Amino acid sequence: MDLSLNNRRAAVAGSTQGIGKAIAIELANLGANITLIARNETELAKVCKNLPNSGNQKHNFIVADFTETNLLKQKIEKYVEDNTINILINNTGGPPPGQAIAAETSNFEKAFSQHLVCNQILAQSVIEGMKSSAYGRIINIISISVKQPIPNLGVSNTIRGAVASWAKTLANELGEFGITVNNILPGYTNTARLQSLLKNTASRLNKTIDETKKSIYQTIPLERFATAEEIAFATAFLASPSAAYINGINLPVDGGRIACL
């Protein structure tokens, strides 16, 4: 099996913590040159400095806030003038919890912009480089809510579904160029966002965090949360040469939680 990413460059969004950081590390482990994308320059520099490096790899970063779409567009377009990105990992922190019916329309608009619009900006900017290098992987880190909506995540459920449909459409459009577009659907993953959601759920249900964890474990056949590294392993495979004929799929990494086939 060929998992080598030597001489490939991967751009990883949301890569200063959690799943994004774990993906950047794993892709670097496989030989890729990494371009980190996030808004915190201090954290970007720290992560970049500590990425695995065989000695020949060249890692760098782009400081960009996904609330400023025009600035993101300018920065990524400037970057690809001198750098070819072969692998794009779209990964953005989820919207705040709450019921869909109670959400302001501005909540949907903000989430749509930060997720789908920014994904589109990044994808459009890297496509020509993928075509010219004859290697392209676009991988979107979404959520199992694409297949099974999660209670009290109304805005997130809605926007994640839109991203999944966008990705499937791109997979159909870009397949002829050998560019694959796939989605990773993480289940409950032990990240800072999950800890925040656990606190919110525990408070809403008047339970302790431990009680809330136990009730969630009961919905997961493996009876635990994923690690960020486990999400990264699945992502790395889809980014590899061995995944060249996998296109347009939603891959759950959820310990078996999703009820449907």
Across the strands, what pairs with 252?
Answer: 185
Q: Listing from the earlier edge strand, what are the strands of the sheet with 87-90?
A: 60-63, 33-38, 9-13, 87-90, 136-141, 179-186, 250-253
Mean pLDDT over 110-123 rounds to 98
| Residue 207 forms part of a structural domain | no
Is 196 a residue whose pLDDT tops 90? no
Residue 100's Cβ-count burial label (10 Å; 0-12, 13-18, 19+) is middle
Classify residue 198: in a domain, yes or no: no
Residue 228: what pLDDT?
A: 97
Whether residue 3 lies inside any domain: the answer is no
Contacts of 12 (CB under 8 A, 6+ apart): 20, 23, 24, 27, 34, 35, 36, 37, 89, 91
Tell me which amino acid residue 62 is: I
What is the residue range of 59's domain?
9-189+227-253
For residue 73, the surrounding DSSP H or E stretch is helix 69-79
**Is the distance from CB of 228 to CB of 191 less than 8 angstroms?**
yes
* pLDDT score, position 90: 98
Is residue 222 in some structural domain?
no
The answer to whether residue 1 is domain-embedded is no
User: Could you tell me if residue 35 is inside a domain?
Assistant: yes
pLDDT tens sequence across 210-220: 999 999 999 99
- pLDDT value of position 205: 86
Which DSSP string do the residues of 74-89 spell out, in sequence order?
HHHHHHTTT----EEE
194 pLDDT exceeds 90? Answer: no
**175 band by pLDDT with thresholds 50, 70 and 90:** very high
Distance (Å, whole) CA 44 – CA 156 = 26
- Taking residues 12-20, report their average pLDDT: 97
Q: What percent of the chain has pLDDT over 90?
A: 92
CATH number of the domain at 145, please: 3.40.50.720
The number of folded domains in the chain is 1
